[in-house]
Amino acid sequence: METVIILVFVFGYLAITLEHNIKIDKLIPALVMMAISWALISLGINSFTQWFDSGTHTLMDNFGLLGHEEKLHLMEETLLHHLGKTAEILVFLLGAMTIVEIIDYFDGFSTIKNAVKFNSRKKLLWMFSILAFSLSAIIDNLTATIVLISILQKIVKERDVRIWYAGLIIIAANAGGAWSPIGDVTTTMLWIGNKVSSGKLFMYLFIPSLLCMVVPTFIASMLKPFKGTLELHESDNKVKNKFSSRMLFLGLGAIVFVPVFKVITHLPPYVGMMFSLGVVAIFAEIYSHSKFSITEVVSEEHSAGSSHSPLHYSLSKIELPSILFFLGILMAVAALESLGILFGFANSLQDTMPMLGTEFHHEGVSDLVVLLLGAGSAVIDNVPLVAASLGMFSEPLDNELWHFIAYSAGTGGSMLIIGSAAGVVAMGMERIDFFWYFKKISWLALVGFIAGAAAFMVTRSIF
């Protein structure tokens, strides 16, 4: 039965990776894979000889001796435990996405667009790279990519030039997301799972992540596409919303406050995110009444939402398919973890892999294993890879292993355009060809990834 469940996972995973070829959204195989895996566990519960206790991160010794009803009860408890952990991540993401949509509702990101007063290609590259690196740490790399490519489309006329900028935005956004607990879904998973703390994450990963962004940007700035000047779009004559800057700083400040809330209250991060969303929504409601009464010139998009609250409008705009995809994939990985499959795989991986460089404490996990995990995240989604590593390794809070995994999984995905959520969304927004990205951008991402990994190995020995 275990073999059948592994095959279900492999085929489901394959369908997710090949979604563009088979024309089926990755959300569908993720949900089907999750449901079938847990159904097979339930139906074949008596055929399993081991069970992984996710609370203590150890295999149960006496699982085979339990009766049928006791096994079913244990399975239900485990399922509920994993659903609770997954729901923490999903509710957190829902809150963050909604705050960003509220900022956009008030045209808050136009503040950034209006700051561009120059047409030097090199200056524009550095501006977008630094913005992507900084913004992704605050509003997550996926959202930062969407926001910056939207701004890029309003500034740069030629698509052939824009896709070069988009490629470097992907690298910078993924690098920026790695050092912040709210910058990347995988880093958020490690933070919520009590594997990393926000302070140590910054200490260990800020310099490696910065190098991962600076090195490719510096090399790119010497390439032909970034030399000379650009023809920019004329600025539009829309009536500027007087609350746009205020909502931008309020929204970003509210998201940044979440780690502070966690440190003060010791409550899970999603509670702080819901508090931040509530505060932002209060101001949005107050400002929206003023907004629609002071001006009649509003975009069609916003006038459609003017009959109800900004919160309702923003909730209708968030990426619900992404939320359900994370639910499916995390719960499918939880099924493999519960049967002890990931635990066994981790042990065999550690035994067979040659040690490279400095060994980690406790389990002696090879650096090569983590670097391969980073390279793997370029080929397949980094969310299930990190979800798998949570079940595979049992190191304590703030062990170097978790920080290296956060870096590798977060930045390794830049090496292929399908390797990260930021890459996939940029691919859709600018119709970037897979092979164009592979030839022009992948090598830059690889150089940045290696530079950051080398820097991590140095910073790890210092702290």
Distance CA 372, CA 81 (A): 30
pLDDT, averaged across the chain: 82
Of 194, 197, 116, nearest to 152 by C-alpha is 116
Does the structure show a pLDDT above 70 at 451?
Answer: yes
- On whether residue 296 sits in a domain, the answer given is yes
Considering the domain boundaries, does residue 182 fall inside one? Answer: yes
**300 in a structural domain:** yes
What pLDDT is attached to residue 299?
A: 46
Q: What is the CA radius of gyration of the chain?
A: 23
pLDDT at 360 over 60: no
- Residue 409: CB atoms within 10 A of its CB come to 29
- Rounded to whole angstroms, the Cα distance separating 111 from 301 reads 19
Dist. CA 262–CA 254, nearest whole Å: 13
Q: What is the pLDDT of residue 349?
A: 61
What pLDDT does residue 461 have?
Answer: 82
Q: What is the pLDDT of residues 381-394, one digit of tens each?
A: 677 678 778 777 77
Cα of 5 vs its chain's centroid, Å: 27
Of 97, 132, 140, the closest CA to residue 112 belongs to 132
pLDDT at res. 352? 65
Lowest mean pLDDT segment, chosen from 206-220, 225-239, 409-423: 225-239
Using the 8-state DSSP alphabet, how is residue 140 labeled?
-
Q: How far apart are the first and last CA of the chain?
A: 45
Quote the pLDDT of residue 125.
93
Q: Are strands 52-53 and 58-59 parallel, antiparallel or unpaired?
A: antiparallel
Domain contains 134: yes
Sign of CA dihedral 47, 53, 58, 64: negative
Number of Cβ within 10 Å of residue 176's Cβ equals 32
User: What pLDDT shows up at residue 460?
Assistant: 84
In a domain, 232, yes or no: yes
pLDDT digit string (tens) for 326-338?
A: 888 889 888 888 8
Average pLDDT (239-262) is 83
Place of tokens 């990205």: 437
Domain membership flag for residue 196:
yes
Q: Which of 18-27, 131-140, 249-258, 266-275 has the lowest mean pLDDT?
A: 18-27
* Model pLDDT, residue 115: 72
pLDDT digits (tens, 9 = 90+) for 256-315: 888 888 889 988 889 999 999 999 999 999 888 755 444 444 444 454 444 568 888 888
- Structural domain includes residue 80: no
User: What phi, psi does 120 have (nearest 5°)?
Assistant: -75, 125
List pLDDT tens digits, range 161-181: 899 999 999 999 999 999 998
Q: pLDDT band for 210, please (50, 70, 90 cuts).
A: very high
How many structural domains does the chain have?
1
Range of the domain at 288: 88-320
Could you tell me the two tokens for 144?
A: 């930062």
Q: Kindly give the interhelix angle for 382-392 and 320-338, rounded to the nearest 10 degrees.
A: 30
User: Residue 215 — very low, low, confident or very high, per pLDDT cuts 50/70/90?
Assistant: very high
